[in-house]
Structure 1
């Protein structure tokens, strides 16, 4: 018969003696797993070489003993459970035979065929504990499921458990009546299931709107800009610089969830493009790239639809207002350009400072004024050619929101923000630098599906430091150029 035939159990490690053989990196990992799940566990660690981290960890737990010597079959006399964290095949075989002789269950790290039991990935929310098993086939899948459940299950679930215990203790009547009362109380937990149909309709509406918006933008290009058609025939070499830039900036944005706008705008200004045209080029390129990235995050389940509804309308209003204001001042570009460069300089400093705070623990409550954040972020994003990710995403994460769901939601809302900003710019401006637009559009679109996949595989801090420094240097160059011209 196929399938997982393992029998799941939860063991009281404080009532039995656990023998851990091996005290290297794997041994440290196993000891951490034991003590994090059962701080009162009685554990004896036996190894010829013991990491200092293992010794330091053991000092904090009075029931943990570390013996720096070779394994002796006599160690099994008082053991109720054995975990072998060693890559010594001869030693593993010795432990296997000795444990079998004394009918003691044993686990071998990364040796599924030798194991009597597996140590699965564990999700813990107070008194709630969920163990995940893949039948020894893929620890990586178990780890990913653990991350998903940790992110998806609210910490407040433990409060629900405590309240349910209190309710159960107060219930009166026979078993049947108690079950009926508990079923009535817990029916609220199924509300999300009942709303799934309406959520599904919302998602289909969103993606239908994406397709229609792209069609509208393309139609506007064709009828509004004859220069766009001639551009396709006479390709400017600058296009290739923006193609490369769009790809690189989109990869950075996919890795850290921000900085595409600020890096693209800084680059565009450095290439001599006026602020409004630069912002237009950036937002036009973001329509396709964020549509693709948003779709990828949706497929990976990274979109918080409640957060989406709070951000989308205020974000669009702010973006349209900002795009209208910047377009109206396009003929003063020689003055607005250094101001926008100053803005990107400040954003570069913000990105650089966040690089050193990215791993700090968030202790404050969740940010509440989501709509105001969306309005402000949309306006600044349109005026400065970027900032939606830097402002909105960083604020959501700093306010205690889940990083992965915040990233996915910001990406999909960014599609609509970019679409409405672009339509405003096209309506207001008389022309566009199509070599910049086309290069950023194609480059960012090529990078979007790749960036969404690798967003959790790149050192966020390293990329943020590099981006911050580059943006600061490019912005300073633009500001200094303006000052020298004035002199």
Structure 2
């Protein structure tokens, strides 16, 4: 069937007054149509590749006086692709049903367009939206699922960026879902109306609003556990003298760090970072040496990051290439940093202000992110991932935090998918935390195990409910509060150190 274009009945000004994207999306069966592509250079190769990537059996004739070697290679692999080495003439479109002009000669492109319109054929003219009857949009493909992206010819770059994001965000398993739904449809009996009713019944669970009890089932479980523990502990305290003596014998430091770990884990659940820096800043203010403080942070993050990493793995949010580039250098950096900090434990009065300066800087970074002060001008992806992992692991171990603030923010600012960055960084953080913790335990003879235990237990209790509670609060409010608190406490520690020598 010949595609018949109509003359534009609206002027450009009238189009602009209407506003919005007026394009009508269609998916052509190019396997059944004859496409003529004029142009054998870089632009022609780009258009041809787009066609063959989506329709491997497409019938395409490429006409040009010269061809890139890559086009000859494509012709060798695709039976439906024909190459005609000649100058373009009108009769080259006699058997065409779709036309693409992709030469670097503007006048020739206009001539091809006129020839196509004389035959009432639709044509795409490369890099000339005003001459096009249709556009070749960016395509996201997951098996039988295809999504076409159009910017109405305004910005192909934006379309390509969106394509990258959707390609990373949409799981490959979507195609499996389509195949299963197709098989299910083939097993249904009855007329069209009956089949629709049966499919609606089967898929209702996917869109049916869940009851309040089911929606909050996890929250209900954890609330029950916490209340039950509180009742049991209260009963033991008043009924069992031995338990009361044990509780009263525990250092108050344990309870301080238990509450602090819980609060800091809630904050981390809201903004995806700052647990390390807030915990370290609090530990230093409570008189804990830097190595012991960092050890507590790393031990407490093993469980929280392990749970988060596993959930991201189950959801398919892990970029495995990025993971391996981060995790091995990150482990090496954590071991080196933990070893250096542990060897300086006896000089904690000197290392403490250094770490306080570091937490002060991170506090400023967090505060600046809250107000979007720091913006990356380029969207180029970070290339030296291994160096980023090595530096992030080292600084995280020495300063007791910074993996999320440094590694995660750098990757996202570099143009990578936030979802995949978050999942990958969380999972790699689990292994980095293990490596750092083992190094600290092997090298540090700490007298602050009750503080470490409180931090570990507090963060573990908060991890499953952090996101639900923290999402009720403005992220910007939390980041501003955290940034200010970290800055003030860090300055207090630095001033206290300086006054000792005045």
Q: Under a length normalisation based on structure 2, what TM-score does the superposition of the two structures give?
A: 0.54
| Structure 1 residues 318 and 232: CA distance shift in structure 2, 3 A | farther
1:299 has 2:314 as partner: yes
Distance across 1 between alignment mates of 2:433 and 2:292: 14
Q: After TM superposition, give the deviation of residue 451 of structure 1 in Å.
A: 3.0
In 2, the alpha carbon distance for the partners of 1:443 and 1:292 equals 15
**Counterpart among 7, 10, 17 of residue 62 in structure 1:** 17
Q: Please state how far the C-alpha of 1:241 moved relative to its aligned partner.
A: 1.4
3-state SS of the aligned residue for 2:332?
A: helix
In 2, the alpha carbon distance for the partners of 1:289 and 1:239 equals: 19
- For residue 337 of structure 1, report the CA deviation from its aligned partner: 0.4
Residues 332-368 of structure 1: CA distance to partner in whole angstroms, max 9, x if unpaired? 0000001100110011111111222289687421111
Written as runs of structure 1 = structure 2, the 5 A alignment for 1:27-426 is 61-63=16-18, 161=50, 164=53, 168=58, 170-171=60-61, 177-178=79-80, 234-357=249-372, 363-426=378-441
Give the 3-state SS of the residue equivalent to 2:479 in structure 1: helix
Is the Cα contact below 8 Å between 2:255 and 2:454 reproduced in 1? yes
Given that 1:362 and 1:399 are in contact with CA atoms closer than 8 Å, whether structure 2 keeps it comes out as no
CA contact (8 A) 1:362 1:400 kept: no
Gaps of 5+ in 2: 28-45, 63-74, 82-138, 144-170, 176-245
Instruction: Provide the rounded CA distance (Å) in 1 between the counterparts of 2:501 and 2:80.
Output: 82
Q: Distance in 2 between matches of 1:306 and 1:432?
A: 41
Matched, 1:475 2:490: yes
Q: Partners of 1:373 and 1:391 in 2: how far apart?
A: 8
Q: SS of the counterpart of 1:401?
A: coil
Unaligned runs of 5+ in 1: 1-11, 18-39, 43-59, 66-121, 130-156, 180-185, 197-230
Query: Cα deviation per residue 1:360-382 (whole Å; 9 max; x = unaligned)?
Result: 68742111111110000000000
> Aligned in 2, Cα 1:447/1:299: closer, same or farther, shift over 3 Å?
farther
1:59-78 deviations in whole A, cap 9, x for unaligned? x931259xxxxxxxxxxxxx
Cα gap change, 1:406 to 1:170, in 2 (>3 Å): same
For 1:382 and 1:304, the matched residues in 2 are separated by 24
Given that residues 59 and 80 in structure 2 are in contact (C-alpha distance below 8 angstroms), is that contact kept between their aligned partners in structure 1?
A: no
Q: 1:165 and 1:384 mapped to 2: Cα distance?
A: 50
Indicate if the aligned counterparts of 1:312 and 1:413 stay in contact, CA closer than 8 A: yes
CA distance in 2, matches of 1:61, 1:339: 59
1:438 and 1:232, CA in 2 relative to 1: closer, same or farther beyond 3 A?
farther
Distance in 2, matches of 1:159 and 1:270, equals 64
Deviation at 1:272, TM superposition (A): 0.5
- Which whole-Å CA distance do the structure 2 matches of 1:41 and 1:304 have between them? 46
Q: Give 1 or 2 for the bigger CA radius of gyration.
A: 2
Q: Deviations over 1:168-192 (max 9, x none)?
A: 463599xx9539xxxxxx9x987x9
**Is the Cα–Cα contact under 8 Å of residues 296 and 452 in structure 1 kept in the other structure?**
no
Report the CA distance shift for 1:456/1:484 in structure 2 as closer, same or farther (over 3 A). same
Alignment equivalent of 1:462, drawn from 453, 472, 477: 477
Query: Kindly tell me: are residues 396 and 272 of structure 1, through their superposed partners in 2, closer, same or farther at Cα, counting changes over 3 Å?
Result: same
Q: How far apart in 2 are the matches of 1:171 and 1:415?
A: 54
Q: Distance in 2 between matches of 1:280 and 1:399?
A: 30
TM-score (norm 1): 0.55
Q: In 1, Cα distance between the equivalents of 2:370 and 2:336?
A: 31
Q: Is the 8 A contact 1:305 1:409 kept in 2?
A: yes
Matched, 1:441 2:456: yes
> Which of the numbers 443, 450, 461 marks the counterpart of 1:428?
443
Give deviations 1:91-117, integer Å, cap 9, x for gaps: xxxxxxxxxxxxxxxxxxxxxxxxxxx
Q: For the structure 1 residues 260 and 403, does the alpha-carbon distance in structure 2 shift closer, same or farther, using more than 3 Å as the test?
A: same
CA distance in 1, matches of 2:421, 2:49: 25
1:289–1:441 Cα contact (<8 Å) kept: no
